[in-house]
Amino acid sequence: MNRFSAILLVALTGVWSGVWSAASGGDDLVVDPDVRAAIRGGMVRVLVDLRVPTADPSAIGRLQDEALRRLDGSGARLARRYSSAPLLALEIDASALARLEVMRDIVARVRTDRITPPHEDSSPRR
């Protein structure tokens, strides 16, 4: 086997393992435990990480639109869209979380959005 054939074989093996991983559920959605705990109390602000192909950064907007379309009619409320990051900031309830959990094809992770309030005093702390 020459060097080109060996490189081609390694490259194809990597491609097929990625396809097999996706087909067998290797890209599971992760919901952080603190989201599950907080959702019992009502609405929770979360960040939703979307699965955007690295070769297609223009897909961010399309995937954001698709996630919001699938959440339509649930208790989700859009807090913020990000134009250059594959994220959505949402306020969700238990029904919206259930919908996000079945979006394994476009959602990678749901995590708590930890908003830090600004300091009342804007002077530097020492």
Give residue-wise pLDDT tens across range 9-62. 333 333 333 333 343 345 789 999 999 999 999 999 999 999 998 777 789 999
Closest listed residue to residue 43, CA positions, set 110, 101, 97: 97
**The CATH number of 26-112 is which of 3.40.50.620, 3.30.70.80, 2.40.50.140, 3.30.410.10?**
3.30.70.80
The residues spanned by each domain of the chain are 26-112
Cβ pair 69, 103 in contact under 8 A = no
Cα radius of gyration rounded to whole Å, the chain: 19
Predicted TM-score of the model (pTM): 0.69
Give residue-wise pLDDT tens across range 48-98. 999 998 777 789 999 999 999 999 999 899 999 998 899 999 999 999 999
CA quadruple 55, 61, 62, 66: dihedral sign: positive
